[in-house]
Amino acid sequence: MYVVVPDANITFDASEKTITLAAPYSELGIGQVISIINLTTNEVLYDSVYQRVDMISISGAVITHTHVNTRHADTDDLQVIVNIPEQKTAFTKETLTVADTAVGFTSGTYLTATGAVITAEDAPMRVFWDGSTPTSSVGQPIAAGDIIILKSASDIANFKAIRTTAVSGKLTSVFSR
């Protein structure tokens, strides 16, 4: 989810070419910085779409940029856009035995879930999460130990699995919202 960092969380040191971000934005990785624009001078200091990632560096809460311009001032208004992953909270779980008939999750269990982490155990299986019904030879193959992450309520509701051998598998799932 893209977020514009509030002005109160930004400190700009124009001469040092540093931007210090206060919590909760102080623990970002370099890939999370989408763009930095000086709104006062109307200049793009960094844009992840058009510039190389080496145009900025991050150390702790401090972003250092390489943009060349002497017109910047510490009091300039910056717009910093970052990508913050959605925070989900686990609230329930379900274990499915996957045999020779395709099965899905129990709607009364996952209720309002918008995410799921699913671990395959015991045997190979095939799955779909687009509403299609897998067979023992058609579907996304998964092996024991594979992990599937679903990121929408629709994917969870449409998820189905079937075993591909004579041995039944197990899917252990944790749902979040």
Give the residue, 19 or 69, on which the prediction is more confident.
19
pTM for the full predicted model: 0.56
Residue 53 pLDDT class (50, 70, 90 cuts):
low
Block residue for tokens 């190979």: 124
Write the CATH number of the domain with boundaries 90-176.
2.60.120.10
Parse the chain into domains and list their residue ranges.
2-83, 90-176
Residue with tokens 């145009």: 55
Share of the chain above pLDDT 90, in %: 73
Q: What is the pLDDT of residues 83-109, one digit of tens each?
A: 987 778 999 999 999 999 999 999 999
Residue 32's φ and ψ, nearest 5 degrees, are: -90, -15
